[in-house]
Amino acid sequence: MKAHDGMYIDGAWRPAAGTGTIEVTNPADETLLATVPAGGPEDVEAAVRAARAALPGWAATPPAERAARLEALQQILAGRRTEIAETITAELGSPLAFSQKVHAAVPVAVCAGYAQLAADYAFEERIGNSRVLREPVGVVGAITPWNYPLHQIVAKAAPALAAGCTMVLKPAEDTPLVAQLFAEAVHEAGVPAGVFNLVTGLGPVAGQALAEHHGIDLLSFTGSTAVGRRIGALAAAGVKRVALELGGKSANVILPGADLKKAVKVGVANVMSNSGQTCSAWTRMLVDAERYDEAVQLAAEAAAKYVTGHPLEETTRVGPVVNAKQHERVTGYIRRGVEEGARLVAGGAELPGGHERGHYVRPTVFADVTPEMAIAQEEIFGPVLAILKYEDTEDALRIANGTVYGLAGAVWSENEDEAVAFARRMETGQVDINGGRFNPLAPFGGYKQSGVGRELGVHGLEEYLQTKSLQF
């Protein structure tokens, strides 16, 4: 796994302006994987300058040609799936099978979708005596997280490039190696110099420089709500557009009469996958009082089957969390849940046996959780499930909507119409009905403090377009 010791700017790997570096470590055993440059304002300045210079040419490139570059990029990513999965497993710690099935495969599907959209989208339409044009918003600054490192990059880069924008990417400091791999793929796909630029660095330094830069027209950020607030404020000061995909505390509502075994099994799987490091995870399970005890028993049994271990071992279903800070955060919430009076029915804050090194957290399930507890209100970002009891469907709705977040959710019912009626009343951007599958063409994003704007599909493309009307 060879890391580049420079930044990808204006179509070439160039030395960083400063000498600072970031150590990339393996969360499974804390060994050093590589070092990458810690970029600063000078690197961001060079990258934005290259993106601005490349903008007129790329914006004027016919959509069919942009589509062809995205198709080439998609094929290159597909061809490097094994390398992508191994890289993400090494720097994030996700089990290799999950990296292959999700981390490597989903970005390929998303890229393919945008290659098709770039070719098919109507960038012009007639409305009465007007011709309405959809033009690229300009230079995009993208700041991406570590939890789905390649997917989050592709979910911003693919629509930005399809729209005719140029961009500067600042990836998460924990997972920069797959971002470098993506830059290699962009280069190989024949995307013109300056259209895509990569600056590795720390959020408070390189990220802040990008958010503040006067040459950025739209800032797209995925991460915590706390950081999103700061990013939004910096962007607002420059009157630049902003897209924010932030935190979540999603509710998995199991209505009376639903298939309880399936709903609980899928719900536990949803929370435990990627070591719970998923912003849209259904971390609150809501069950009616009559079947509550049965649901708690089923959840505890399901969680016990999630073997914690080294991500390269075939039996492993839950790898480590990404770093020591994250480990302390998650175990701190588990301890707080116990202190607040929730009943621990699986897992706990102690290290799993046989894992003295590495950032491992035991898959944890809490029962007797009440809506005001911290573990029911705050995003933990680890393999921790809170099970809450409701008295009737109106009570369930109050609990489901009773947080500052609104990113995702799930509803289970024996009657699909009943589930849809309930889902319509949920204050959230995405709801899975009876285990509905992820759709890479459907819009993804949040209500309330879960964000601003949408990613994926047509709605994701339109975030990177601005509107001009010509009257005749």
DSSP code, position 39: -
pLDDT in tens, 5-17: 999 999 999 999 9
Give the closest residue to 206 by CA, choosing from 12, 16, 451, 11. 16
Sign, Cα dihedral of 155, 152, 89, 34: positive
Residue range 363-385: average pLDDT? Answer: 98
pLDDT in tens, 14-50: 999 999 999 999 999 999 999 999 999 999 999 999 9
Gyration radius of the chain over CA positions = 22
Architecture of domain 6-246+449-471: 3-Layer(aba) Sandwich (3.40)
Residue range 303-310: average pLDDT? Answer: 96
What pLDDT, on a 0 to 100 scale, did the predictor assign at position 356?
83
Tokens at 420, concatenated: 């849809």
- Asked if residue 43 lies in contact with residue 201, where contact means CB atoms within 8 angstroms, the answer is yes
Where does residue 176 rank: exposed (0-12), middle (13-18), buried (19+ CB within 10 A)?
Answer: buried
Tell me whether residue 245 is one of the annotated catalytic residues: yes
What pLDDT, on a 0 to 100 scale, did the predictor assign at position 353?
83
Intervals of CATH 3.40.309.10 along the chain: 251-439
Intervals of CATH 3.40.605.10 along the chain: 6-246+449-471
- Which of the four CATH numbers 2.120.10.30, 3.40.309.10, 1.10.3720.10, 3.60.20.10 does domain 251-439 have? 3.40.309.10
Tokens at 254, concatenated: 């199991």
What pLDDT, on a 0 to 100 scale, did the predictor assign at position 355?
85
Tokens at 298, concatenated: 């089923």
Percent of the chain with pLDDT over 90: 98
pLDDT of 218 > 80? The answer is yes
Q: Which residue type sits at 301?
A: E
pLDDT in tens, 121-162: 999 999 999 999 999 999 999 999 999 999 999 999 999 999
Tokens at 206, concatenated: 């390189």
What pLDDT, on a 0 to 100 scale, did the predictor assign at position 2?
82
The secondary element (H helix, E strand) that includes residue 389 is strand 384-390
Tokens at 28, concatenated: 């499974």
Tokens at 265, concatenated: 């099994």
Query: Average model confidence (pLDDT) for the chain?
Result: 97
pLDDT in tens, 437-452: 999 999 999 999 999 9
pLDDT in tens, 70-122: 999 999 999 999 999 999 999 999 999 999 999 999 999 999 999 999 999 99
Reduced to 3 states (helix: H, G, I; strand: E, B; else coil), residue 241 is strand
Q: Report residue 354's pLDDT band, with 50, 70 and 90 as the boundaries.
A: confident
Tokens 């109507």: give the residue.
Answer: 122
Residue range 343-361: average pLDDT? Answer: 93
Q: In what order do the strands lie in the sheet with 364-369?
A: 343-346, 364-369, 384-390, 284-288, 251-254, 409-412, 432-433
What pLDDT, on a 0 to 100 scale, did the predictor assign at position 1?
65
**Which entry of 212, 245, 455, 463 is annotated as an active-site residue?**
245
What pLDDT, on a 0 to 100 scale, did the predictor assign at position 164?
98
Reduced to 3 states (helix: H, G, I; strand: E, B; else coil), residue 150 is helix
